[in-house]
Each structure stands twice: as C-alpha cells, then as structure tokens.
C-alpha cells in the first residue's frame, strides 16, 4: 500500500480479514485452500487506484493520495465486496477488478486440484491470477490479455505481491497454445460465444468457466472437438472480451410488450439468442417455458458447431450461439 505515506498496515489486515469472513459466511469459501488464498493475497497491491461514480464525471481514488481521508476511502473500497473500475480509455471502461465474492464462487466451481494447469482469459489487475498462483503455484498458471499496458501493469502488481505466473499479451479468444494443455480455463471477461480454439488446448475432462450473456457457463471438455455444460444460477456482468476474433452482438429489446425488456432473466435469454432469434421470438420462448432460470440453459460445442439450448441439448429449443450462421438443425452432436 502507500508505504511512502505511512499506510496503516494494521487497518489493511483488519479490513482484509473482515472481507474474507464475509465471503466465507456467504458460502463462497468452503475450500480451505481458497480461503487461505483470499486471506493472504493483498488485493490493495493490485488496485493502486480505481474510478468511482458515473462515466463520464468519475472520481479517481488512489493509495498514494496526499489526503489521508481519501486514502482511507480508497482502502475501504478495496476491501469491500465490490467490483472496481481500474482502467478507462476515452471514457470507456476496459478493465476492472471483479467482485471478490463472485471471484470466490467462480474459483470454487472451477474445481481445480493440486498439479492442475489453468489458463485465465482477461488478466485485469492480476489479482485473480495471484489467487490462482497461491493455490496452484506460479508455474501452473497462465494469464492472457490483449492490452500490453494491462499485462505490464499486472506483472508489476504480481511481482509486488510475490507471485510470478506466466503473463502473456495476446488475443484471449485464441487461448495460449504454447502453454497448454490445460486442466481448466477461466475467463474474466464476457464472451459472445465459447472459442473453439480453447478445446484443443484442454486435456480431456478439463473445465471451462466463462461469463456469457449475463451468466456463467461451466463446460466439461470431452476432446478437442466436443464440450458441453450448463449455466450456473449466478448472474454475472463483466467487461467484454476484446480482440480480432471476438465479435460482440448487442440485443435490442425496444418494442417488446410490457416490462419484459427490463427483466433480468429475459435479458439473459435475449443476449443468449442475439443473432439467432428475433426479440419477439425469444420472448415467446421465454414465456412458454415458464420464465426459466439460468441453470435450465446450456451450451454444446461439437465438431466446429456451437449452439445454446433450453433443458436438453437435443431438445426442441436450441439455436446457434453467437455470430456464426452455419449451424444447421442445432439439436444434436
């Protein structure tokens, strides 16, 4: 923290302990190894500054502020259970530090074991990579980000905290084949679809956990051509993946009857079907199915095809996922 300003390390440690206790009480740190990681990795080293308030018109808080009250505000926000906007460009948010309790839930569901190799897509501040390195060891963790400024900053943060995973500058949608094979891939940025390239970099049985639409898809990889899984119940909102192979589709909810366009679960389906179903068709599907929760949806990748589905992969409700248009009769593998 701001050692130059005589930072109160006792306050930092107390706030960190309170945060870990709150996350544990929510049920997100059942694994002692992950609880130890959150207790021992100092988040403040990864977010030396962040932005609060509206965009534009935001305020910058930082740990080296000469004003002790503003430094105190910075530290309390660092160890609050909230996402922090860490990097802006031309008024647009391009990187953030995710909500710690959501990070804990994602890491728990990733289900890693000692000796596993993990690829993280979206380096951000480097905090999540540090948690993974604490759990698995530096040599077992690779993190990729498109922006060289982000990766260089993350390297500095990791070094300051005593961690040295592989930090790679590159297009996360292409993975990192030179560092594979991986036992798990975790993305900390929103995807329009799951990149097929990731499967070939995974060992059979590997897990892929990624934000997609406004949910979290958990896939089990069978081989280089096949993976399948369901969404978790947890909602999730992340900065979108950037890169030449990332194609974002924005759903349009205008003109829908009633307040459907404002419903979180319908917005999830609307994004999931963007490019495949027109909003009125998505609304009809949602209402016929009883306004389903996220965990009733899933995704299948098979031999270069990718589709989303409701309830069953080979059921009647299935549609091409993302920007691709070449999925014919997307009901089976």
Positions marked active-site:
95
Among 118, 115, 96, smallest CA distance to 107 is for 118
Q: Rounded distance, CA 1 to CA 43, Å? A: 10
**Alpha-carbon distance values, 263 to 139, 257, 269, 319 (Å):** 43, 12, 10, 21
Q: Which three-class secondary structure state does DSSP give residue 137? A: coil
**CB-based contacts of 206: which residues, under 8 Å, 6+ apart?**
181, 182, 183, 184, 185, 220, 221
Residue 320: strand pairing partners: 307
327 touches 307 (CB < 8 A): yes
12 touches 79 (CB < 8 A): yes
Among 250, 253, 278, 249, smallest CA distance to 264 is for 253
Sheet strands side by side (includes 92-97): 59-62, 49-52, 84-89, 92-97
Q: Which three-class secondary structure state does DSSP give residue 330? A: coil
183 touches 118 (CB < 8 A): yes
**Please, what's the largest Cα pairwise distance for the chain?**
65
- CA 331, 311, 309 angle in degrees (round to 5)? 45
* Residue position matching structure tokens 């190894």: 33
* Residue position matching structure tokens 């839930």: 105
């Amino acid at each position: 923290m701001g050692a130059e300003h005589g930072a109160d390390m006792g306050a930092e440690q107390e706030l960190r302990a309170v945060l870990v206790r709150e996350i544990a009480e929510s049920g997100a740190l059942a694994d002692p190894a992950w609880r130890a990681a959150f207790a021992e990795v100092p988040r403040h080293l990864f977010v030396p500054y962040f932005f609060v308030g509206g965009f534009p018109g935001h305020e910058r808080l930082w740990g080296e502020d000469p004003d002790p009250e503003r430094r105190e505000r910075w530290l309390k926000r660092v160890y609050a259970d909230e996402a922090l906007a860490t990097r802006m460009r031309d008024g647009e948010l391009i990187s953030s530090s995710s909500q710690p309790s959501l990070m804990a839930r994602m890491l728990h569901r990733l289900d890693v074991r000692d000796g596993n190799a993990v690829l993280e897509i979206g380096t951000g501040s480097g905090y999540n990579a540090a948690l993974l390195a604490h759990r698995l060891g530096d040599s077992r963790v690779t993190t990729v980000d498109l922006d060289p400024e982000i990766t260089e900053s993350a390297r500095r943060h990791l070094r300051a905290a005593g961690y040295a995973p592989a930090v790679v500058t590159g297009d996360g949608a292409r993975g990192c084949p030179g560092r594979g094979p991986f036992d798990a891939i975790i993305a900390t940025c929103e995807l329009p679809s799951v990149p097929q390239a990731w499967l070939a970099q995974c060992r059979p049985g590997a897990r892929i956990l990624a934000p997609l639409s406004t949910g979290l898809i958990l896939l089990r990889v069978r081989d280089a051509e096949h993976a399948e899984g369901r969404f978790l119940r947890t909602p999730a909102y992340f900065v979108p993946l950037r890169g030449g192979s990332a194609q974002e589709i924005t759903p349009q909810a205008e003109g829908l009857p009633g307040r459907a366009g404002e419903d979180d679960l319908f917005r999830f389906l609307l994004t999931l079907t963007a490019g495949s179903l027109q909003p009125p068709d998505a609304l009809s599907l949602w209402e016929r199915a009883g306004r389903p929760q996220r965990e009733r949806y899933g995704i299948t990748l098979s031999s270069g095809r990718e589709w989303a589905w409701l309830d069953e992969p080979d059921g009647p409700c299935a549609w091409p996922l993302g920007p691709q248009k070449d999925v014919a009769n997307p009901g089976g593998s």
